[in-house]
Structure 1
Amino acid sequence: MEQSIQINADFIEQETNFGELVELLREGFATREYVIPQRSHHNFPNPKTNKESTLLMMPAWNPGKEAGVKVVTVNPGNGDLGLPAIQGSYLYLDATTGVLRAVMEAKSLTAKRTAATSALASSFLSRTDASSMLMIGTGALSVNLIRAHGTVRPIEQVFVWGRNLGKAEMIAKELTNKNFNVIPVSTIEEKISGVDIVSCATLSAKPLIHGDMLVPGQHIDLVGAFKPNMRESDNAVMARASIYLDSLESGLEESGDIAIPIQENVIESSDIQGDLFNMCSAAVSGRKSNEEITLFKSVGHALEDLVAAKYYYSKYRK
């Protein structure tokens, strides 16, 4: 019997080509072969950090081909312990025999597939000439989001904001040799109205992006705030923007960016323009004009994990 393999973070980092991964995700969202059960979401107390942790289990399968499940914890207090907030593993299986093909480091896999998914959405929703970007947040996702957006749009100028300016400076230094001019900034307000794409990946419980900051033609990419009581944007943002999700089924319930404005009657679920499934299958077109403000809210989807796991497994076997 074939032995299962271990795929670590270093391999995932070295072997990622965002252009390739974006196109595989485009194919995955367009097909109807995948079966995606609702993910299991459990919150539990964490007395040592005094910040609630979350256990996520995300299964998916392509009958007769491959299957997998991601087991992840999100621990907001890990920053104080010198550890990444996201911890976990991905189990990649043969869908016919159930044999475990590989165990993959889930934090890196999640970061890559999440960034590639945002870039996929941007290919439908941002202006084709978008050349500037504000990255809000300095966690593991930030560098990946910048690189991924740069594969689908001609990004030249990137501004980075974080609560710790030193971390923003480190990101600018890390991307020095890339095709971007990366500049750390001390406030969101000083640059947000002057960029084409705003990407936000934080664990903020309160809005960081406000509707009166936005200008026509922008694309807003919301990646953090994965709980119903967390949000990165205020009601005015939602009222101004054309809203799209990675998945209508989970996105309406799991993120405060969507759930709270619906509860407060700022928007209705019928105001959501579409998701990646109907954009990738050409049932929905995406951006309609250069003046439109578009918004993509990502909550994560198990299809993304399975597509990425198959991608890295194939690369490892080669």
Structure 2
Amino acid sequence: MQQPLQISSEFIEKHTDFLELTRALQEGFANKKMLVPKRHHHDFPNPITQKDTTLLLMPAWNPGNEAGVKVVTVNPGNDKFDLPSIQGSYLYLDAKTGVLKAIMDAKNLTAKRTAAASALASSFLSRENTETMLMIGTGALSVNLIRAHAAVRPIKKVFIWGRNQAKAEVLCQELSQDSFEICSVSSVAACIGDVDLVSCATLSETPLVLGEDLVHGQHIDLVGAYKPNMRESDDETIRRTSVFLDTRESGLKESGDIAIPLKHGLLKESDIIADLFDLCSEAVPGRTSENEITLFKSVGHALEDLIAASYYYSKL
């Protein structure tokens, strides 16, 4: 029996074109034949770090063609071991035979597809002349989010803020050869009102994006805060923005950015304008005015994993 191919993080890094990947995701979200069952989400205690570990099982099928499942753990305490918080593998299958075709590094696959999904949303929700960006967070997603957004909008200047400014400086150095100017900032408030796009990817339990600081025409991209008790934006942000999700099923309950306003009655399910399925099928328009402040909340979806796995498998 033929052994499954191994697709490494390095291969994924080398063969990523964010514009290509974003377009592949757009086609995937518009494809009504894809089947995505509810993902398994389990939290269990980690007595060493004193922070719960989350186990995610995310399957998806394109009947008669391909299938896959991602097995991932999210470990917020992994900085103690100098390891990324996300660990896991993606199993890519032939849907006709069930044969395992490839095993892929899930951490980088997740980072790339997550960033591409945010860029996809931005292509519908941010202004076409978006030139400036604030990146809140210095984790593994940050570089990918910046490059993905720059693939769909003419980004000329990027600001980076993180709790550890030394990490922000390292990211500036890593991106110094890209097509945009980049620098670190000492506070979010110092520049959030001066940018067209705000992307936030943190594990924060308290809001970092404050509605009182937002200005007309901005697009807010919230990628972190994956648990109901985590929150990257405050109530005023929700009040002032047009809210969009990656998917309604997961987005309404998995993150505190949406779940908490829903619980308190600040936001109703009917207030959610659209998700990526709606946008990509052209059932609902995205941004409708230059002054509108749009907000996209992403919690991740197994469809994104399968499309990304197919994309990287095609690069072999």
Does the alignment reach a TM-score above 0.5?
yes
Structure-2 residue corresponding to 1:104: 104
1:270 is displaced (CA, Å) by 0.5
Distance 1:253 1:239 in 2: 18
Q: Distance in 1 between matches of 2:300 and 2:78?
A: 21
Q: Write the distance in 2 (CA, Å) between the matches of 1:305 and 1:12.
A: 13
What is the distance in 2 between the residues matched to 1:87 and 1:167? 21
Deviations 1:6-61 (A, max 9, x none): 00000000000001000000000011011000000000100101111100000000
What CA distance in whole angstroms lies between the structure 1 residues aligned with 2:121 and 2:294? 10
* Alignment-derived partner of residue 4 in structure 1: 4
Give the match for residue 46 of structure 2: 46
In the alignment, the residues of structure 1 paired with residue 36 and residue 179 of structure 2 have an alpha-carbon distance, to the nearest angstrom, of 37
The whole-number CA distance in structure 1 between the counterparts of 2:186 and 2:246 is: 31
- SS of aligned partner of 1:69: strand
Partner SS, residue 314 of structure 2? helix
Q: Following TM superposition, by how much is the alpha carbon of 1:79 offset from its aligned partner in structure 2, in angstroms?
A: 1.0
The answer for the alignment partner of 1:154 in structure 2 is: 154
Look up the equivalent residue of 1:260 and give its one-letter code: I
Equivalent residue, structure 1, for 2:282: 282
- Summarize the alignment of residues 123-142 of structure 1 with structure 2, pairs less than 5 Å apart: 123-142=123-142
Q: Matched residues in 2 for 1:241 and 1:147: separation?
A: 24
**Cα deviations by residue, 1:63-91 (Å, 9 ceiling, x for unpaired):** 00000000000000001210000000000
CA deviations over 1:173-232 (Å, ceiling 9, x no partner): 001100010100110000100000000000001111111010000000000011111110
Q: What is the distance in 2 between the residues matched to 1:2 and 1:245?
A: 40
Residue in 2 aligned with 1:255?
A: 255
Q: What TM-score results when the alignment is normalised by the length of structure 2? A: 0.99
Letter in 2 for 1:162: G
Tell me how far apart the structure 2 counterparts of residues 2 and 248 of structure 1 sit (CA, whole Å). Answer: 39
Distance 1:236 1:189 in 2: 15
The amino acid across from 2:163 in the alignment is R
Q: Which amino acid aligns with 2:278?
A: N
Alignment-derived partner of residue 217 in structure 2: 217
Number of the residue aligned with 1:181: 181
The residue matched to 1:315 in structure 2 has which SS? coil
Runs of 4+ in 1 over 4 A off after TM superposition: none
Residue 237 of structure 1 corresponds to 237
Could you tell me which runs of 5 or more consecutive residues in structure 2 were left unpaired when the two chains were aligned.
none
Q: What corresponds to 2:18 in structure 1?
A: 18
Q: Secondary structure at the match of 1:142?
A: helix
- The corresponding residue for 1:196 is 196
Instruction: Give the TM-score of the pair, scaled to structure 1.
Output: 0.99
What is the Cα-based RMSD across aligned positions, in Å? 0.6
Q: Aligned partner of 1:304: which letter?
A: E
1:168 aligned partner: 168
For 2:270, the equivalent position in structure 1 comes to: 270
Measure, in 2, the Cα distance between the counterparts of 1:89 and 1:157. Answer: 34
Runs of 5+ unmatched residues, structure 1? none
Work out whether 1:76 is the aligned partner of 2:95.
no
Counterpart Cα distance in 2 of 1:95 and 1:55: 24
Q: Distance in 1 between matches of 2:205 and 2:40?
A: 21
Q: C-alpha distance in 1, partners of 2:185/2:93?
A: 44
The answer on 1:296 being equivalent to 2:296 is yes
Q: Tell me, what secondary structure is at the counterpart of 1:76?
A: coil
Name the structure 1 match of 2:59: 59
Offset of residue 2 of structure 1: 3.7
Task: Give the secondary-structure state (helix, strand or coil) at the position aligned to 1:254.
Answer: coil
Q: Which amino acid aligns with 1:123?
A: S
Following superposition, the deviation at residue 3 of structure 1 comes to 2.8
Aligned position for 1:120: 120
What number of residue pairs does the alignment pair up?
Answer: 316
Distance in 1, Cα, partners of 2:3 & 2:13: 23
Aligned to 1:35: 35
